[in-house]
Amino acid sequence: MELYFIWAQDNLLTIIAVALTLVLIYHYIVERDSGVKLTKRYRNSIFEAQSKVFLNATQYLISGNKDLAIKEFLSAVDINRETIETYFALGGLFRSNGEIEKAISIHRSLIARENISESNRLRALKELALDFDKGGFIDKAVETYKDVLKINRDQHEVIRSLCRIYEDIEDWDHAYQYRLMLSKVAHENQAETISHILVQKAKQYFAKGDLNKCAEDLEEAFRFAPSVSAKILRLKLHLYTGDIEQSKFQLLELLKEHPMYASFIFESLSEKSEKVDPKIQEVYQKRFEILKTYFLELSDDDLLASPSVILSKVRLLKFSGDAETAFELLKQWMSENIKPSDVMKAEYINLLIELDRKDEALSATKELLGNLHHSLTKHFCQACGYNSDGIFWRCPQCHEWETIQFRWKV
């Protein structure tokens, strides 16, 4: 199977030459029978010219000169307009074969033709943008996609590509602008995604230490949708500038809605911006400690049933040096839940070791090793299965938003 594939790749031009010849013979036969538009003599001369082109091209192919072969193929467009479809196919094949420069030269030559319809010119321009995009010429791709939109704005595939590029390079201003455009053109609800993009924009202001601008973009994000990332950032901003009671309330709401984000929430809250005024930072740190204590004292039954919430509590306690309380909490939970996950068991063993309870640690380890599942990463994408230890609101692999799933790492 693989061998055939490699052969097909090596002989792409030959395959195309044969296919083109078949297409032209087909046209010749069809047109010979219809015979309305062209006189017989004219048709025959076209066929002869075409045959000559393909004979030349095939000779170049045999001698291994691919560039000259392409040139011969391209000159055939002059002879028969019907073949324009074949040239789009040829350009697409080159692009998918990674021969970007050849694809570009085909599409450029199509755009430059005088005798081409406006719709085909637009199509060639779109193809050219795709060539640049695939080839990694981002600036040229953006420029060409924009040229397409200047001719016709109703191109949701093109707008979608611009969205992807701007999100990739984290230019959130433009990403926002084109998402808005996409929601109008494609008639698709983009509110959740726009909210995420605005949160990314707000985070950039946070990193620069501009809390006011950060709050403005965040407010805008909520206008579109109350995404999880927006709620976490709002909680953080509240700890900086708002009152502590409100922060406690927001934390509780977040945990009730998404208990699996528990540890991530605290990870996010402990990330600092170097640019924020040190005095404000100091106030923040104090409030953050109050919030942690509030979380550790939460005894809501629904919340305590969630392994994520328990593990977050255990790890916060361990981090603050209170392994004893952490152990008691976990032991209690394990006794109430029949099937604790491997991660819970591993955490339990860790605590036993930390408390120097060697015999118990040894027997618990033995039991765990007996039926250990290997978990790979902390997070994965539910849409495409992408694995990562980092947080991704937008999957780097399939570019979907908020498809992240959590699993606890052993």
Q: Which residues bind Zn ion (CB under 5 A)?
A: 381, 383-384, 386, 395, 397-398
β-bridge partners, 404: 381
| Phi, psi of 177, deg, nearest 5 | -55, -45
11-to-61, 89, 151 alpha-carbon distances in Å:
9, 16, 37
Q: Are 205 and 219 in contact (CB under 8 A)?
A: no
Nearer to Zn ion, 333 or 380 (CB): 380
Please provide the size of the chain in residues. 410
Nearer to Zn ion, 318 or 394 (CB): 394
In the complex, minimum distance from the CB of residue 394 to Zn ion, in angstroms, rounded to a whole number? 9
The three-class DSSP label of residue 339 is: coil
| DSSP for residue 357 | -
Nearer to Zn ion, 103 or 395 (CB): 395
In the complex, minimum distance from the CB of residue 383 to Zn ion, in angstroms, rounded to a whole number? 4
**Whole-angstrom Cα distance, residue 400 to residue 394?**
6
| DSSP for residue 379 | E
In the complex, minimum distance from the CB of residue 169 to Zn ion, in angstroms, rounded to a whole number? 19
In the complex, minimum distance from the CB of residue 168 to Zn ion, in angstroms, rounded to a whole number? 14
In the complex, minimum distance from the CB of residue 354 to Zn ion, in angstroms, rounded to a whole number? 37
**Whole-angstrom Cα distance, residue 224 to residue 194?**
7
297-to-233, 253, 309, 310 alpha-carbon distances in Å:
23, 16, 12, 12
In the complex, minimum distance from the CB of residue 194 to Zn ion, in angstroms, rounded to a whole number? 19
The three-class DSSP label of residue 401 is: strand
Nearer to Zn ion, 141 or 381 (CB): 381
In the complex, minimum distance from the CB of residue 401 to Zn ion, in angstroms, rounded to a whole number? 10
In the complex, minimum distance from the CB of residue 409 to Zn ion, in angstroms, rounded to a whole number? 19
Nearer to Zn ion, 261 or 380 (CB): 380
Q: Are 125 and 110 in contact (CB under 8 A)?
A: no
Q: Which of 322, 324, 345 is nearest to 333 (CA)?
A: 345
162-to-154, 187, 236, 333, 397 alpha-carbon distances in Å:
14, 17, 31, 49, 17
Nearer to Zn ion, 60 or 386 (CB): 386
Q: Which of 128, 184, 192, 120 is nearest to 156 (CA)?
A: 184
Nearer to Zn ion, 84 or 165 (CB): 165
The three-class DSSP label of residue 373 is: coil
Nearer to Zn ion, 126 or 379 (CB): 379
